[in-house]
């Protein structure tokens, strides 16, 4: 297995190769400073893994107020059978498909925050998702909350583990170094058609040389700058990641799903101690306007099984206390189902936090099913309160600067009251 | 991307006044390449030389009319479409469109078809019907350079769209809001120009819109015929009326023109309302003839100014089709379609109804790596998928380039129109010189060595950062 020692050895070799450490992509040269203290209690280099549920997850059918008679009334065809709901307490329980998350709840590794949203909720996928990514409801949004956080994390690396056809999340916009998007370690090789090894070296020197020095006569367009930076990062990451072993053996079996594969990749990168603090994955398909079941069950199963395997794998490696996984969606869905056995866009919904140091349990009441706002569940916790708790309490960066104002943090960490 | 966007404050009259070649702003290879890249997918050597001779207006007209009629190609494609509709083969469907893009004498039409595909973004992931998707593609092509009003009416009844946005499920008493929302938010008006109430009322007008016999069918019994108030107009509206009402809003021409601006003029410069206004007004007065705003923008001072030159990132389609057309080659488009998936653009499968974001979103570490590797596959003649049919060595011989300087100059002019630093150019020449020395496998002939050098240097040109910019 590729150890930290090997990595430090390699990085100094790379420094020589490039000729000047000033030009070395920051994530390589800073990693030694951010070297993890894993194994020591209270290690500072905590990790955040964000899991985005794209499309607007139906929160009402995810964390279910099974005692409330209005639930069955609003959801004639979509209501879940009470005896199969995984009870969290006397009031709410998890959708039957969330067995993996239920087991994490039993292990005290799951925190459920109910009723999360923001004022004047937008029901446009794109505007609402932008709001969650920016951590702001301003009209013009230019930076992401994670991009700004990275700026205060000593330029620690971060990774977006994307599916095919997936753009880098806006949440990373504004990061000091562009966050690379990876789909797999294997694909990450720059190829050349070379007649010999010296030929290959010569070709690579041209390809990589132009983006280090700058090849364009006039730097009028900052777009060329962007391309060069992206290219530089690409080639450097490619070389680094080619070395991370294919020798990874998970401590628990991962299910065979897209999300699980991406989380397994995250687990490998975390275990390889690259010093990355933030990882981002998404799973799409939650925009269930028609025929919500069995689609929603399938999706929740994928999320539940993947998260459970991911956490248990890393916990077994002693990384459980460093890890926090946060799930969110751009909005919940309407309280009443529509005529197509589906649900339309809503607002308030729950968030899940998974990790060795989360405050296990259910935070906040379920939004009232009686006092709806325009047909939607009214939120009582601003999502930026969850962000504030994570930024200040978990990552150790000032939430007030990043979010533009102070938000009272939600108690999601064990050490908090 | 947002950090790269600058707001453009220009005098509209000056910006949109027609470009006339002059000593300060000559008509040259750079501008000809710019026009070809924006309006089509880039030009090959002869096309670029011809364009420099013919001047901007003649070249623009040639591009907008098409170099030759497409009747023969249409028939060929219709035949191929028939068989893949029967088998339901989605890979063939993507390959068919790429085949068209590569072989059409009218690439401007295909480029605009791609624009509409992105604007009315519909994914086969949900539609799951090759016939519907190809039918929608044909609809875009038919109206690409035609009338937007007609296009908007027809797309509302297009079977692929009816399935995609759940209109087929929308019933009297329980309307489904999806189409009404996207019609206003994404297809005609933009956020802020309607209310949630407008959407809910408009949704009622589209009830009963179904598909029967693979075509649009109006099911009166499922239609809500009552009074609806949408965007200030009250009546017993049906879907066509909602579309008409959207077209009557002043926000509509502005919204469409902004999208055309981003696609044809610049991705990094955001025009003010003032700048957009004359183009939007001309569009509206013409009753939504697409050629009107297009020509106004494409023959303008602004279009040919340094402010907008290379201010877009090539889409995967621009990137790949540009290389193959530039190399004057033929490739199997099934493999090409597959490669484009890895670059982040799966034709007929946009990631959402918002389409592909474009701009810097196209480039991350994974997609950029795939672009470089695709450029290699297309130029090395070693890749089984593409074989020897896009051979830079053959191209160099065809156009009679011999010395190292001529060869580098040729590739740099063809693919970059000379946009390259002296340092980088020298790097390419150094590579060529040193590659002469080898070592080479013993069984390679002199010809093999020469061909290898030419193909390698072509690949290197295509990996340069400038080549990513449109």
Given a cut of 50, is residue A54 above it in pLDDT?
Answer: yes
Give A92-129 pLDDT, tens digit per residue.
999 999 999 999 999 999 999 999 999 999 999 999 99
Rounded distance between C-alpha atoms, residue A70 and residue A284, angstroms:
29
Rounded distance between C-alpha atoms, residue B453 and residue B84, angstroms:
41
H helix intervals, B42-70 = 45-54, 56-65
Q: How far is CA B53 from the centre of its chain?
A: 26
Rounded distance between C-alpha atoms, residue A103 and residue A109, angstroms:
9
Strand ranges, E, within B64-186: none
In a domain, A234, yes or no: no
Given a cut of 80, is residue B99 above it in pLDDT?
Answer: yes
In a domain, A69, yes or no: yes
- CATH classification at residue A94: 3.40.720.10
Give the closest residue to B457 by CA, choosing from B415, B398, B400. Answer: B415
Rounded distance between C-alpha atoms, residue B344 and residue B356, angstroms:
9
The answer to which of A96-105, B66-75, B289-298 has the lowest mean pLDDT is B66-75
Beta bridge partners of A60: none
Closest residue in A to B345 (Cα–Cα): A165
Q: Which of A226, A229, A235, A343 to mutate to test the interface with B (most CBs of B within 10 A)?
A: A226
In a domain, A339, yes or no: yes
Given a cut of 50, is residue A406 above it in pLDDT?
Answer: yes
pLDDT of residue A184: 75
Rounded distance between C-alpha atoms, residue B200 and residue B230, angstroms:
9
Chain A within 8 Å of B192 (Cβ-Cβ)?
Answer: no
- Range of A91's domain? 4-10+44-185+244-403
Q: How far is CA A324 from CA A153, A179, A273, in A?
A: 16, 19, 16
Task: Verify whether the Cβ–Cβ distance A344 to B177 is below 8 Å.
Answer: yes
Chain A within 8 Å of B153 (Cβ-Cβ)?
Answer: no
Task: Verify whether the Cβ–Cβ distance B2 to A142 is below 8 Å.
Answer: yes
B341 chain-A contacts, CB cut-off 8 A? 164-165
pLDDT of residue A272: 72
Q: How many separate domains does chain A show?
A: 1
Task: Verify whether the Cβ–Cβ distance B420 to A217 is below 8 Å.
Answer: yes
Q: How confident is the model at residue A213 (pLDDT cuts 50, 70, 90)?
A: low
pLDDT of residue A217: 52
Task: Verify whether the Cβ–Cβ distance B459 to A230 is below 8 Å.
Answer: no
CB pairs under 8 A between A and B: 200
CB B420 within 8 A of CB A217: yes
Give me the mean pLDDT over the A274-287 stretch. Answer: 92
Give the closest residue to A120 by CA, choosing from A310, A294, A331. Answer: A331
Given a cut of 70, is residue A8 above it in pLDDT?
Answer: no
CB B250 within 8 A of CB B285: no
Task: Verify whether the Cβ–Cβ distance B376 to A192 is below 8 Å.
Answer: yes
A336 chain-B contacts, CB cut-off 8 A? none
In a domain, A138, yes or no: yes
Give the closest residue to A307 by CA, choosing from A279, A340, A339. Answer: A279
Give the closest residue to A207 by CA, choosing from A191, A187, A184. Answer: A191
Give B19-67 pLDDT, tens digit per residue.
999 999 999 999 999 999 999 999 999 999 999 999 999 999 999 999 8
Rounded distance between C-alpha atoms, residue A23 and residue A16, angstroms:
11
Give B363-381 pLDDT, tens digit per residue.
877 788 889 999 999 999 8
Q: ipTM score here?
A: 0.91
Rounded distance between C-alpha atoms, residue A48 and residue A397, angstroms:
13
Q: Which H or E element spans position A16?
A: helix A4-18
Q: Indicate the domain borders of chain B.
A: 165-309, 316-468
In angstroms, how far apart are the furthest CA atoms of chain B? 84
Evaluate the omega torsion of the peptide bond into residue B439 and state whether it is cis, within 30 degrees of 0: yes
pLDDT of residue A43: 44
Rounded distance between C-alpha atoms, residue A39 and residue A33, angstroms:
17
Q: How confident is the model at residue A155 (pLDDT cuts 50, 70, 90)?
A: low
Query: Greater confidence, A190 or A408?
Result: A408
Q: How confident is the model at residue A290 (pLDDT cuts 50, 70, 90)?
A: very high
CB A346 within 8 A of CB A377: yes
pLDDT of residue B64: 97
CB proximity list for B94: less than 8 A, separation 6 or greater: B333, B337, B340, B346, B347, B348
Given a cut of 90, is residue B344 above it in pLDDT?
Answer: no
Give me the mean pLDDT over the A51-57 stretch. Answer: 98
pLDDT of residue A85: 97
Given a cut of 70, is residue A207 above it in pLDDT?
Answer: yes
Given a cut of 80, is residue B106 above it in pLDDT?
Answer: yes
Give me the mean pLDDT over the B153-174 stretch. Answer: 94
The overall average pLDDT reported for chain B is 94
Rounded distance between C-alpha atoms, residue B417 and residue B411, angstroms:
9
SS3 A159: strand
pLDDT of residue A14: 30
Query: Greater confidence, B217 or B344?
Result: B217
Chain A nearest C-alpha distance from B252 (Å): 19
Chain A nearest C-alpha distance from B33 (Å): 17
Chain B nearest C-alpha distance from A186 (Å): 11
Beta bridge partners of A98: none
A165 chain-B contacts, CB cut-off 8 A? 341, 344-346, 349, 351
Given a cut of 70, is residue A220 above it in pLDDT?
Answer: no
Q: Which of B121, B223, B422, B465 to mutate to test the interface with A (most CBs of A within 10 A)?
A: B465
pLDDT of residue B10: 84
- In chain A, the N- to C-terminal Cα span, in Å, equals 40
The two tokens of residue B415 are: 């693919």
Give the closest residue to A347 by CA, choosing from A52, A54, A59. Answer: A59
Give A156-188 pLDDT, tens digit per residue.
788 899 987 688 899 998 876 667 788 877 666
Chain A within 8 Å of B447 (Cβ-Cβ)?
Answer: no
Query: Greater confidence, A216 or B331?
Result: B331
The answer to which of A59-63, A312-316, B123-127, B341-345 has the lowest mean pLDDT is B341-345
Given a cut of 50, is residue A40 above it in pLDDT?
Answer: no
């Amino acid at each position: 297995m590729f150890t930290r020692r090997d990595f430090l050895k390699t990085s100094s070799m790379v420094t020589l190769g490039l000729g000047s450490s000033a030009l070395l992509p920051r994530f390589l040269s800073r990693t030694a400073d951010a070297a993890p203290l894993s194994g020591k209690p209270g290690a500072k280099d905590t990790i955040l893994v964000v899991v985005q549920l794209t499309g607007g997850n139906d929160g009402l059918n995810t964390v279910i107020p099974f005692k409330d008679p209005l639930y069955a009334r609003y959801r004639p065809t979509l209501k879940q059978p009470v005896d199969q709901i995984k009870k969290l307490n006397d009031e709410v329980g998890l959708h039957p498909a969330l067995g993996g998350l239920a087991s994490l709840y039993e292990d005290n590794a799951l925190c459920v925050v109910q009723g999360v949203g923001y004022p004047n909720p937008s029901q446009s996928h794109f505007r609402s998702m932008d709001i969650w990514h920016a951590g702001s409801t301003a009209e013009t949004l230019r930076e992401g909350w994670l991009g700004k956080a990275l700026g205060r994390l000593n330029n620690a690396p971060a990774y977006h583990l994307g599916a095919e056809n997936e753009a880098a999340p806006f949440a990373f916009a504004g990061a000091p170094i562009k966050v690379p998007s990876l789909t797999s370690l294997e694909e990450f090789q720059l190829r050349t058609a070379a007649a010999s090894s010296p030929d290959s070296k010569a070709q690579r020197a041209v390809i990589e040389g132009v983006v280090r020095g700058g090849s364009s006569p006039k730097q009028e367009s900052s777009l060329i700058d962007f391309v060069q930076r992206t290219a530089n990062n690409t080639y450097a990451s490619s070389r680094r990641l080619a070395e991370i072993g294919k020798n990874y053996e998970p401590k628990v079996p991962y299910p065979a799903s897209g999300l699980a594969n991406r989380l397994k990749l995250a687990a490998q990168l975390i275990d390889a101690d690259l010093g990355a603090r933030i990882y981002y994955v998404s799973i799409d398909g939650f925009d269930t306007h028609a025929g919500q079941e069995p689609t929603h069950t399938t999706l929740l199963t994928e999320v539940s099984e993947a998260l459970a395997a991911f956490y248990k794998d890393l916990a077994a490696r002693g990384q459980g206390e460093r890890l926090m996984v946060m799930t969110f969606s751009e909005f919940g869905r309407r309280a009443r189902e529509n005529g197509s056995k589906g649900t339309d866009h809503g607002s308030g919904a729950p968030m899940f936090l998974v990790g060795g140091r989360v405050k296990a349990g259910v935070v906040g009441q379920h939004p009232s099913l009686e006092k709806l706002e325009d047909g939607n569940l009214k939120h009582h916790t601003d999502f930026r309160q969850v962000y504030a708790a994570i930024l200040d309490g978990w990552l150790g960066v000032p939430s007030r600067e990043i979010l533009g104002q102070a938000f009272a943090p939600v108690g999601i960490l064990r050490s908090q009251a | 991307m947002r950090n790269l966007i600058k707001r453009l404050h220009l005098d509209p009259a000056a910006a949109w006044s027609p470009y006339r070649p002059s000593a300060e702003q000559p008509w040259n290879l750079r501008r000809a390449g710019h026009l070809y890249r924006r309006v089509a997918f880039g030009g090959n050597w002869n096309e670029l030389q011809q364009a420099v001779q013919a001047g901007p207006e003649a070249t623009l007209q040639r591009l907008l009319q098409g170099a030759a009629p497409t009747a023969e190609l249409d028939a060929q494609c219709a035949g191929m479409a028939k068989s893949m509709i029967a088998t339901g083969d989605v890979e063939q469907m993507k390959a068919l469109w790429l085949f068209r893009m590569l072989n059409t004498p009218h690439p401007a039409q295909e480029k605009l078809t791609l624009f509409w595909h992105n604007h009315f973004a519909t994914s086969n992931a949900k539609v799951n019907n090759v016939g519907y998707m190809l039918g929608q593609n044909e609809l875009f092509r038919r109206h690409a350079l035609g009338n937007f009003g007609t296009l908007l009416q027809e797309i509302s009844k297009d079977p692929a769209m009816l399935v995609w946005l759940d209109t087929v499920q929308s019933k009297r008493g329980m309307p489904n809001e999806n189409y009404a929302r996207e019609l206003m938010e994404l297809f005609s008006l933009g956020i802020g120009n309607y209310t949630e109430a407008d959407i809910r009322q408009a949704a009622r007008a589209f009830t009963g819109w179904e598909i029967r016999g693979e075509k649009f069918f109006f099911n009166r019994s499922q239609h809500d015929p009552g009074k609806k108030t949408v965007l200030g107009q009250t009546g017993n509206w049906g879907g066509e009326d909602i579309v008409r009402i959207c077209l009557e809003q002043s926000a509509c021409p502005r919204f469409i023109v902004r999208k055309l601006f981003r696609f044809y003029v610049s991705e990094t410069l955001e025009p003010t309302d003032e700048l957009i206004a004359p183009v939007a007004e001309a569009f509206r007065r013409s009753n939504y003839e697409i050629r009107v705003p297009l020509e106004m923008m494409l023959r303008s001072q602004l279009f040919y100014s340094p402010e907008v030159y290379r201010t877009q990132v090539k889409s995967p389609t621009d990137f790949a089709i540009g290389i193959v057309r530039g190399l004057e080659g033929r490739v199997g488009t099934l493999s090409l379609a597959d490669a484009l998936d890895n670059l982040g653009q799966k034709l007929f499968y946009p990631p959402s109804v918002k389409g592909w974001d474009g701009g810097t979103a196209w480039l991350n570490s994974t997609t950029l790596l795939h672009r470089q590797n695709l450029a290699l596959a297309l130029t090395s003649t070693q890749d089984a998928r593409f074989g020897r049919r896009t051979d830079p060595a053959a191209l160099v011989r065809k156009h009679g380039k011999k010395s190292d300087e001529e060869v580098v100059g040729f590739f740099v002019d063809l693919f970059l129109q000379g946009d390259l630093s002296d340092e980088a150019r020298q790097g390419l020449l150094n590579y060529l010189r040193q590659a002469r020395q080898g070592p080479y496998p013993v069984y390679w002939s002199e010809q093999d060595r020469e061909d290898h050098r030419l193909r390698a240097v072509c690949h290197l040109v295509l990996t340069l950062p400038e080549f990513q910019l449109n």
